[in-house]
């Protein structure tokens, strides 16, 4: 497809995903494409990452594995693209449905909003259970403000790598680019962390994922600021940009801190700071330290509102670019 058709498909996919999200009736019957990617990554891990190898050997195997996985993803994207091209308008609709599957607009908003609902209806225990579905930190270590911060951080970070990044990669490179990005992002989540088992084998996946997400993390700042302007006014928009520029680099990730800082500024709340993953304390400075130090379920709902407006802006930008390329 040409870039104008990519933009048209992306616009339709954004609208479709915003309305339908991830239908559970479908994924309870057939495997989600990301689950298929995960199975392939798991197979590569089992075959190429035995504990008997040295760290250098595991790192080299990790490089070979991620390159092979990316080539496989690009090839699969090319095959699907050529197959859909056989059906004309029907193929465009099929590709729209496939692209929508790889976006996370509605499902992310639903999962994060569910944390606020659980806190209000079931108390701290319910909030911990709800937030444990979307974050990796130990839920039992979280008090109510920490549960709220975790939900808002997940919302901001996943806006970047679950919505904006796949949109960028599809708009520019079509299905091969989208499939490659989702394979890489899935690999990073599975093998890209710094545990003893994966610090070497997952090194290449983690570094490449940092590169792949760099543009989306920066664009997310502007989109969140625009969403804040729509929902909360000029001051929130200005604070989103100011805090992102000042504190975006405080996060251990070169990318995650950018949208998190923008959201922290938009909501005037502190995010990040010390937290526990797998029993290990991760010490980081607070993002937006001058902001409110007690996040609430209302802040989660305000964050979801800003996020939804940001998604709307992303669709508007896509439409504008489509008109420019006509």
Structural domain tally of the chain? 1
pLDDT of 278 reads 60
Task: Give me the pLDDT at residue 26, please.
Answer: 81
pLDDT value, residue 276:
64
Place of tokens 């010390």: 274
pTM of the model: 0.95
Residue ranges of the chain with per-residue pLDDT less than 70: 1, 275-282
Asked if 192 contacts 198 with a C-beta cutoff of 8 angstroms, the reply is: yes
Q: Decide: 149 and 275 in contact? Cβ < 8 Å.
A: no
Segments forming the whole domain that contains residue 130: 1-323
**Quick one: pLDDT at residue 176?**
98
What pLDDT is recorded for position 137?
74
């Amino acid at each position: 497809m040409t870039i104008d058709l990519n933009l048209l498909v992306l616009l339709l996919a954004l609208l479709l995903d915003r309305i339908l999200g991830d239908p559970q009736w479908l994924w309870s019957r057939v495997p989600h494409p990301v689950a298929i990617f995960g199975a392939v990554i798991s197979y590569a891990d089992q075959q190429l990452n035995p504990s008997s190898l040295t760290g250098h050997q595991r790192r080299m195997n990790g490089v070979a594995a991620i390159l092979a996985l990316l080539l496989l993803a690009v090839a699969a994207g090319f095959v699907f693209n050529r197959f859909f091209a056989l059906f004309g308008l029907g193929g465009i609709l099929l590709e729209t449905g496939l692209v929508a599957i790889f976006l996370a607009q509605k499902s992310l908003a639903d999962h994060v909003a569910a944390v606020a609902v659980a806190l209000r209806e079931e108390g701290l225990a319910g909030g911990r259970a709800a937030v444990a579905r979307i974050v990796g930190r130990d839920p039992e270590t979280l008090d109510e403000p920490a549960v709220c911060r975790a939900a808002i951080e997940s919302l901001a970070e996943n806006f970047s790598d679950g919505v904006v990044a796949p949109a960028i990669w599809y708009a520019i490179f079509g299905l091969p680019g989208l499939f490659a990005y989702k394979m890489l992002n899935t690999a990073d989540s599975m093998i890209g962390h710094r545990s003893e088992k994966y610090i070497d084998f997952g090194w290449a996946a983690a570094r490449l994922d940092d590169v792949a997400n760099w543009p989306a993390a920066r664009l997310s700042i502007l989109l969140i600021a625009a969403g804040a302007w729509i929902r909360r006014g000029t001051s929130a928009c200005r604070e989103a940009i100011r805090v992102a520029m000042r504190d975006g680099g405080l996060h251990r990730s070169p990318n995650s801190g950018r949208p998190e800082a923008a959201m922290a500024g938009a909501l005037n709340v502190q995010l990040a700071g010390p937290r526990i993953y797998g029993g290990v304390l991760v010490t980081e400075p607070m993002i937006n330290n001058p902001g409110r130090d007690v996040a609430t379920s209302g802040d989660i709902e305000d964050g979801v509102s800003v996020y939804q407006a940001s998604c709307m802006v992303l669709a508007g930008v896509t439409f504008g670019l489509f008109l420019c390329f006509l």
